Amino acid sequence: MIRFWGLSESKNQFISPRVQEEVMEMFSHCIVREVTQDVSGREQESICLRHVNSDLHIHEDFVGIYEITTTTSKSIAGMVLDVLTRFALPLSNLRAQTYDGAVNMSSHYTSYQARVRQCQPLALYFHFASHISNLVMQNSIISSQLVRNALQWENELGVLMNRSHEVFYEIFIAEEKGETYELDPLEIPRRRCPTKRYTDQVAQDQPTNPEEHHRKQYFEFIDAVNKGLSDRYGLSKSGLDQYIKLENMLTSGKVD
């Protein structure tokens, strides 16, 4: 069972007439799907349509929410085809499909994107760039205790600021009044060195001042981010190269 909450008569103001006209004028378009559960545990599928106008400006329009009972690739494929049918958009103009990296989305043979590509081979599949960036940042934060603690304290300061602007302002100017507030100076945290039998008699590179210590921590975090982006967007994988192919196809109209 598929329920649609978008252009029904009871919700005729859900999408403006201007957006409906833009959707009808689309030629080549991309469908973007994201799913989440409501408070009752039901799957709610949000659907967006992305297209490029004659000036090569990208437009993305939210067109509705679907409720599906199962998350199999067959059910999701039927739901997306139903979206295109409701907006009178021919499947032949579908050029891209963007979802998360779940197995029922990204596998090559039985996933939803594979079922759609059986009907329209030009509908290239892309993993969410924002979702990929989120995964990379999560893995990178774990690699650096300094960055992890800094983000945690940033959240705590945000909560404190919302509770009391006066207290937050006092903390903000505390650096200039360190002696008045008796703040401890910036120091290198104590670190227990491993025994020589584990280091093979080689002395470890230890920072000589607090600035060097924190600089090293941040560079390790940046290296982890670069590695994560390279692994997920590398040209050897179906990531950045497909984005380049899609851009060339949209700008030139030619398919390699």
CB 15 within 8 A of CB 63: yes
The pLDDT value recorded for residue 7 is: 43
Assess whether 194 and 101 both reside in one domain.
no
pLDDT digits (tens, 9 = 90+) for 109-127: 777 778 888 888 888 877 7
Assess whether 164 and 144 both reside in one domain.
yes
- In a domain, residue 207? The reply is yes
Assess whether 138 and 102 both reside in one domain.
no
Assess whether 44 and 145 both reside in one domain.
no
Q: Which two tokens stand for residue 132?
A: 């990929």
What CATH number did the domain enclosing 120 receive?
Answer: 3.30.420
Which is more confidently placed, 247 or 197?
A: 247
Which is more confidently placed, 193 or 158?
A: 158
Assess whether 89 and 143 both reside in one domain.
no
26: alpha, beta or left? (left if phi > 0; alpha if psi -120 to 50): beta
Assess whether 73 and 185 both reside in one domain.
no
**pTM for the model:** 0.47
- In a domain, residue 253? The reply is no
Assess whether 123 and 138 both reside in one domain.
no
Full domain range(s) for residue 223: 134-233
- In a domain, residue 183? The reply is yes
Assess whether 43 and 83 both reside in one domain.
yes
Assess whether 26 and 115 both reside in one domain.
yes
- In a domain, residue 139? The reply is yes
- In a domain, residue 47? The reply is yes
Helix (H, G, I), strand (E, B) or coil at 134: helix
Whether 186 shows a pLDDT value over 70: the answer reads no
Query: How many domains would you assign to the chain?
Result: 2
Assess whether 119 and 141 both reside in one domain.
no
Listed residues 112, 127, 142: the one ending a domain: 127
The proportion of the chain whose per-residue pLDDT surpasses 90, expressed as a percent, equals 0
